[in-house]
C-alpha cells in the first residue's frame, strides 16, 4: 500500500503533467544535444568556476533531471558530504556555516547534521536539519517523469503509463541497466566527469521506465532510483564507473577544475600532512531514503550509510545552466 506521502507525490506529478507535457519549465525550452552548466565551488575562502558539457544526446533523462534541479536552485549552497579518494559526493545536504563549524569536531553531532527525521504530512512543512531529501520530495511534482510504479492498457489494448503512478526518481541511464538507447559505454567515467548517483537498494521490485515517448519497459527499481545526489570524479580511475552510474557531463576545460582539486589537496598537505583521512571526520549510520515509499515492505527506508565529511567545508555555491 502506498503511503500518504507517496500519494501526495503522485498527485503533484499528475498536476505537473497537465501543466506542461514534459513536467518542468526548463524542459519546455529549446534543447541542444550538449547543454552547459557552470558550477561555482568554494573552498577555504576561494571560489572556482568550472564549466561542464552535458550529454543530452546520450543521457536525455539524466540531463533533463539535473537541469530541472539546477533551474530550481536546488543545488545552490550544498556541500561535499562524502569525500572519497576518487569521487566527491554532493547534492543532498545544505551548508550552514555556523551549524557545520559547531558540529564538525564531534562525529555524533555531525550525524545530527545529516540525519533527517521520518516525516509525515503533519510535520513535513516545518522540519529542521540540513538534509535536502524533504526539499526534493516537495519539489518532485515539478520534475519530468521517466519512472512509474505501474502501467495500464486502454480499451484498444494499447499500453500506457498514468501520471498518478510517477515515482520521484529518474531512469538510470548506464551500461548495466535495461534497454538503453545510448551506445553502451559511450561516455567513460573519467577525471572531472559528473555522475548521477544512487544509493544501492535491496528491493527486488520492478518499475516501468520510458526511455522514449513510445517505449514502456519493465525494469529493476534498484537501477532507477536516483534522486539528486551526484559525484565529481577527481581521479582517472573509479569504482563508480559508467557500468552502474550515468556519466552525464564532462569538463569543458581541465585547468579550472585542476585549480579547485589542487587547492583541496594542497590544504590537506599543509594542514593534515597529506593524510586525507585526517582531513575528514567519519560519520557512521547516517540515514538516507527516509521518504522511501515504493520499495517492497519499505526495506530500503532509512538505509544507513557512512560519510567521510571534510573538516574544511567544500561548498557548491551554485549550479547555473549557461546553455540549454
Query: Each residue of 216-241: pLDDT tens digit?
Result: 999 999 999 999 999 999 999 999 99
pLDDT tens-digit series, residues 61-72: 999 999 999 999
**pLDDT tens readout for residues 9-34:** 444 444 444 334 344 444 456 789 99
Contact (CB, 8 A) for 166 and 13: yes
Whether residue 315 is predicted with pLDDT greater than 90 in this model: the reply is: yes
Quote the CATH superfamily of domain 4-323.
Answer: Cyclophilin-like (2.40.100.10)
- pLDDT confidence of residue 237: 95
Nine-digit cell string for 206 = 520492478
User: Percentage of the chain surpassing pLDDT 70?
Assistant: 85
Structure letter (DSSP) for residue 235: S
Angle CA(240)–CA(93)–CA(51) in degrees, nearest 5?
60
Residues 6+ apart with CB under 8 A from 207: 147, 148, 149, 167, 218, 219, 220, 221, 224, 294
The tens digit of pLDDT for each residue in 262-281 reads: 999 999 999 999 999 999 99
pLDDT per residue as tens digits for the range 168-190: 999 999 988 976 656 655 789 99
Q: What are phi and psi of 47, to 5 degrees?
A: -115, 150
In the predicted structure, residue 111 carries a pLDDT above the cut 50: yes
User: Alpha carbon of 30 to those of 35, 58, 144: distances in Å?
Assistant: 10, 17, 15
- DSSP codes, 174-221: STTSSS-SSPTT-S---TT-EEE---------EEEE-SSTT--EEEEG
This prediction's pTM: 0.88
Amino acid at each position: 500500500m502506498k503511503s500518504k506521502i507517496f500519494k501526495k507525490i503522485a498527485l503533484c506529478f499528475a498536476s505537473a503533467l497537465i501543466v506542461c507535457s514534459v513536467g518542468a519549465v526548463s524542459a519546455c525550452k529549446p534543447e541542444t544535444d550538449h547543454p552547459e552548466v557552470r558550477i561555482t565551488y568554494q573552498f577555504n575562502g576561494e571560489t572556482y568556476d568550472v564549466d561542464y558539457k552535458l550529454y543530452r544526446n546520450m543521457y536525455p533523462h539524466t540531463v533533463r533531471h539535473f537541469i530541472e534541479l539546477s533551474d530550481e536552485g536546488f543545488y545552490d549552497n550544498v556541500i561535499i558530504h562524502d569525500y572519497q579518494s576518487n569521487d566527491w559526493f554532493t547534492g543532498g545536504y545544505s551548508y550552514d556555516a555556523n551549524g557545520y563549524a559547531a558540529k564538525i569536531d564531534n562525529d555524533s553531532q555531525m550525524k545530527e547534521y545529516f540525519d533527517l527525521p521520518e516525516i509525515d504530512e503533519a510535520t513535513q512543512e516545518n522540519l529542521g536539519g540540513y538534509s535536502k531529501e524533504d526539499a526534493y520530495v516537495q519539489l518532485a511534482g515539478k520534475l519530468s517523469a521517466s519512472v512509474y510504479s505501474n502501467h495500464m492498457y486502454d480499451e484498444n489494448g494499447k499500453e500506457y503509463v498514468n501520471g498518478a503512478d510517477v515515482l520521484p526518481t529518474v531512469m538510470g541511464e548506464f551500461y548495466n541497466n535495461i534497454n538503453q538507447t545510448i551506445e553502451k559505454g559511450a561516455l567513460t567515467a573519467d577525471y572531472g566527469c559528473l555522475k548521477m548517483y544512487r544509493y544501492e537498494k535491496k528491493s527486488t521490485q520492478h518499475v516501468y521506465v520510458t526511455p522514449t515517448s513510445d517505449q514502456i519497459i519493465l525494469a529493476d527499481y534498484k537501477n532507477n532510483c536516483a534522486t539528486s545526489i551526484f559525484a565529481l570524479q577527481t581521479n582517472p580511475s573509479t569504482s563508480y564507473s559508467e557500468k552502474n552510474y550515468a556519466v552525464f557531463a564532462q569538463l569543458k576545460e581541465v585547468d579550472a577544475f585542476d585549480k579547485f582539486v589542487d587547492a583541496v589537496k594542497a590544504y590537506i598537505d599543509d594542514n593534515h600532512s597529506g593524510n586525507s583521512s585526517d582531513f575528514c571526520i567519519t560519520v557512521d549510520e547516517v540515514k538516507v531514503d527516509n521518504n522511501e515509499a515504493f520499495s517492497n515492505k519499505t526495506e530500503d527506508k532509512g538505509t544507513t550509510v557512512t560519510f567521510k565529511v571534510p573538516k574544511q567545508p567544500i561548498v557548491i555555491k551554485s549550479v547555473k545552466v549557461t546553455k540549454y
